[in-house]
Amino acid sequence: MSFIEKCRRAANARNSLVCVGLDPDPERLPAHLNGTVDPISAFLKEVVSATCDLVCAYKPNFGFFGALGAAGWRSLEDVLSAIPDTTPVVLDFKANDIGNSARRYAQMAYDALGADAVTVNPLMGWDAVAPFLEYPDGCAFLLCLTSNPGSTDFQRLTTRDGPFYQQVARKAVEWSDSGPCGLVVGAAHARELATVRRIAPELPFLVPGVGAQMGDPGDVIRYGSDRNGGGLLVNTSRSVLYASPGRDFANAARREAESLRAELERERAAASSP
State how beta strands 205-207 and 232-236 pair: parallel
SS3 198: helix
Report the catalytic residues: 94
31 torsion bin: left (phi>0), alpha (psi -120 to 50), beta (else): alpha
Cβ atoms < 10 Å from Cβ of 270: 11
| CA–CA gap between residue 135 and residue 133 (Å, rounded) | 5
Sign of CA dihedral 95, 173, 270, 86: negative
| CA–CA gap between residue 62 and residue 72 (Å, rounded) | 9
